[in-house]
């Protein structure tokens, strides 16, 4: 591993001078983007970050103070396996693709650009959050997530430069030009154009939207295009921390709310400076539904094509399934027909977005159960829940129809009338924002969130995670 090159990498970049030069030209543009759109106001501060020193499971042992622009951005792939094969689809069992097969070139480029676009988008969405951090511990976690999303962009840009020639270089430039939420040059996927401007948004985003990332990466980690598979395998190790930040973050907010509810049973937790459970629920509804859209339509010819080509597999394709061709099975899903919900059988390959979404939903349910445990532990009788997967959808079979949070088909008039029951209102957002004041003294934490169970890497909570 060349850790101390200008572009740290384990792909022998110095052995390919043309590629190295091209990426070294992209590097300053990337840094310009980082300074313009990355965390606002903290670029010169020392942050206690983990940095990859190898691509093995223990490669994360390195924790130290780093200024974010000096982070080890780089290109790290899981080492190649001998005789890797295409693991599924019509070419199952054939040697894995080491170069891009001509007939799949457009599909692959589209997959890589779409994934790549989400990485800088999330950094842009989160750029203002540092100014209102609830603690130094949380500030550090935000920055850890941000630098790793930046590195994920590097991962995709490497593939574009290395395997897609001129088109790839153009796409890599455009990844630095689109901007989250900008009406003229928005990011590709809608969840990545939504503002993420308070910490409840951030924790819901990292719970639900980063978790979509986990499942997309897991499906691509099965890819028969080996460089993509190996890149995604390493990215997954970074992603796990983002999910931890999100899930424990929401959990700590829920826990604090339950504590305040217990403290004064008769009063609104607002009077005690907490976030009411119903507002937390609305944030969950919002981010869960937008994140479900990221999996794509329930019935999708793209999903069938990507699977047939061996480009994008199912979650844990090799561990969970024995039939890797999936050409003859059917899958039953719900659709709206003549104004009613009805089951429909579709060929399995066309339903793979929905199959992956199902895996994701199970994982989210586990997270919600965890949060409810915190409420029970405080002796409070209340719950949060996940809304129906049909609720508030903008992509796929349920887009254009309206459902209540339990998934019952309702009229659009009823939905509009009851919207404020389910989704954050302007006043809800204003209230949450009113609580967001930076707490930056080591060991101190904002009133609306509980402290974490433990610090980072064995350090105590009152460690100076960011030197301000
Ligand atoms: Fe990422
Ligand atoms: Fe992430």
Helix (H, G, I), strand (E, B) or coil at 182: coil
In a domain, 3, yes or no: no
H or E stretch at 330: strand 330-337
Does 54 score more than 90 pLDDT?
A: no
In a domain, 396, yes or no: yes
In a domain, 2, yes or no: no
User: What is the per-residue pLDDT for 58?
Assistant: 73
CA 111 to each of CA 38, 89, 216, 402: distance values in angstroms, whole numbers, following the listed order: 24, 17, 10, 30
| pLDDT (mean) for 94-103 | 95
Q: Which residues span the domain enclosing 371?
A: 13-467
Ligand 2 centroid to Cα of residue 463, in Å, is: 25
User: What is the per-residue pLDDT for 467?
Assistant: 97
Q: CA triplet 46, 119, 107: central angle to 5 degrees?
A: 155
DSSP characters over 429-462: HHHHHHH-----STT---TTSPPPSS-STT--TT
User: What is the per-residue pLDDT for 346?
Assistant: 97
In a domain, 336, yes or no: yes
Token pair 């995670």 is found at 465
The ligand whose atoms approach the alpha carbon of 141 most closely is 2
The ligand whose atoms approach the alpha carbon of 120 most closely is 1
Contact of 148 with 242, CB cutoff 8 Å: yes
Burial code of 65-86, b = ≥16 C-beta within 10 A, e = fewer? ebebeebbbbbbbbeeeeeeeb
Ligand 2 centroid to Cα of residue 102, in Å, is: 30
pLDDT in tens, 71-93: 988 899 998 888 999 999 999 99
Does 57 score more than 80 pLDDT?
A: no
Q: Name which of 212, 172, 173 is nearest 191 in CA terms.
A: 212
Ligand 1 centroid to Cα of residue 109, in Å, is: 17
The ligand whose atoms approach the alpha carbon of 240 most closely is 2
Distance separating alpha carbons of residues 164 and 109, to the nearest angstrom: 8
Distance separating alpha carbons of residues 357 and 216, to the nearest angstrom: 10
Does 465 score more than 80 pLDDT?
A: yes
In a domain, 394, yes or no: yes
User: What is the per-residue pLDDT for 100?
Assistant: 96
Ligand 1 centroid to Cα of residue 352, in Å, is: 22
If one counts every other C-beta atom within 10 angstroms of the C-beta of residue 303, the result is 25
The ligand whose atoms approach the alpha carbon of 149 most closely is 1
Does 1 score more than 80 pLDDT?
A: no
User: What is the per-residue pLDDT for 70?
Assistant: 92
Q: Which backbone phi and psi does 83 adopt, to 5 degrees?
A: 50, 45
What is the chain's length?
468
DSSP characters over 54-112: -SSTTTT-EEEEEEGGGS---B--PPPPTT-B--SSTTTTSBPBSS--GGGHHHHHHHH
In a domain, 4, yes or no: no
CB within 5 A of ion ligand 2: which residues?
A: 210, 213, 239, 242
What is the tally of structural domains in the chain? 1
Ligand 2 centroid to Cα of residue 140, in Å, is: 15
Ligand 2 centroid to Cα of residue 255, in Å, is: 24
DSSP letter, residue 193: G
The ligand whose atoms approach the alpha carbon of 207 most closely is 2
H or E stretch at 298: none
Q: CA triplet 47, 49, 50: central angle to 5 degrees?
A: 170
H or E stretch at 191: none
If one counts every other C-beta atom within 10 angstroms of the C-beta of residue 296, the result is 20
pLDDT in tens, 192-241: 999 999 999 999 999 999 999 999 999 999 999 999 999 999 999 889 99
In a domain, 8, yes or no: no
Question: Residue 417 sits in a domain of what CATH number?
Answer: 1.10.620.20
The ligand whose atoms approach the alpha carbon of 156 most closely is 1
Model confidence at 3, in pLDDT bands (50, 70, 90)? confident
pLDDT in tens, 260-314: 999 988 779 999 999 999 999 999 999 999 999 999 999 999 999 999 999 999 9
Ligand 1 centroid to Cα of residue 307, in Å, is: 22
User: What is the per-residue pLDDT for 5?
Assistant: 83
In a domain, 73, yes or no: yes
Mean pLDDT of all residues in the chain?
95
Distance separating alpha carbons of residues 421 and 404, to the nearest angstrom: 10
The ligand whose atoms approach the alpha carbon of 202 most closely is 2
């Amino acid at each position: 591993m060349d850790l101390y090159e200008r572009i740290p990498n384990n792909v022998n970049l110095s052995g390919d001078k043309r590629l190295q030069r091209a990426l070294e030209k992209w590097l300053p543009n990337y840094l310009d983007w980082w300074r313009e759109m990355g965390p606002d106001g903290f670029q010169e501060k020392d942050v206690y970050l983990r940095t990859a020193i190898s691509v093995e499971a223990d490669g994360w042992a390195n924790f130290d103070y780093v200024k974010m622009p000096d982070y080890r951005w780089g290109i790290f792939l899981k080492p190649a396996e001998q005789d890797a094969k295409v693991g599924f689809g019509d070419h199952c069992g054939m040697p894995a693709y080491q170069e891009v097969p001509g007939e799949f070139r457009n599909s692959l480029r589209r997959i890589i650009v779409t994934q790549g676009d989400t990485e800088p988008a999330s950094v842009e969405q989160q750029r203002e959050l540092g100014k209102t951090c609830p603690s130094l511990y949380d500030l550090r976690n935000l920055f850890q997530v941000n630098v790793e999303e930046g590195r994920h962009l590097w991962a995709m840009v490497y593939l574009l430069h290395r395997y897609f020639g001129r088109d790839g270089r153009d796409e890599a430039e455009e990844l630095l030009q689109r901007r989250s939420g900008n009406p003229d040059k928005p990011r590709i996927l809608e969840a990545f154009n939504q503002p993420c401007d308070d910490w409840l948004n951030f924790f819901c985003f990292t719970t639900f939207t980063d978790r979509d990332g986990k499942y997309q990466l897991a499906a691509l980690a099965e890819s028969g295009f080996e460089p993509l598979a190996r890149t995604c395998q390493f990215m997954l190790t970074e992603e796990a921390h983002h999910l931890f930040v999100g899930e424990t973050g929401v959990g700590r907010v829920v826990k604090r709310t339950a504590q305040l509810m217990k403290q004064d049973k008769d009063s609104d937790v607002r009077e005690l400076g907490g976030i009411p459970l119903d507002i937390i629920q609305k944030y969950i509804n919002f981010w869960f539904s937008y994140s479900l859209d990221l999996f794509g339509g329930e019935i999708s010819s793209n999903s069938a094509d990507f699977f047939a080509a061996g480009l994008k597999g199912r979650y844990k394709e090799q561990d969970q399934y024995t039939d890797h061709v999936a050409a003859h099975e059917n899958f039953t899903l719900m659709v709206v027909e003549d104004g009613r919900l009805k089951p429909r059988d579709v060929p399995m390959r066309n339903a793979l977005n929905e199959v992956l979404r199902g895996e994701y939903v199970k994982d989210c349910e586990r997270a919600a159960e965890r949060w409810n445990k915190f409420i029970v532990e405080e002796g409070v009788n209340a719950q949060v829940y996940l809304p129906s997967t049909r609720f508030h959808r903008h992509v796929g079979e349920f887009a254009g129809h309206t459902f209540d949070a339990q998934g019952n088909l309702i009229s659009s008039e009823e939905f509009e009338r009851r919207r404020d029951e389910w989704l954050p209102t302007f006043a809800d957002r204003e209230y949450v924002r009113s609580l967001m004041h930076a707490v930056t003294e080591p060991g101190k934490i904002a009133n609306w969130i509980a402290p974490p169970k433990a610090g980072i890497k064995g350090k105590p909570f009152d460690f100076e995670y960011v030197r301000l």
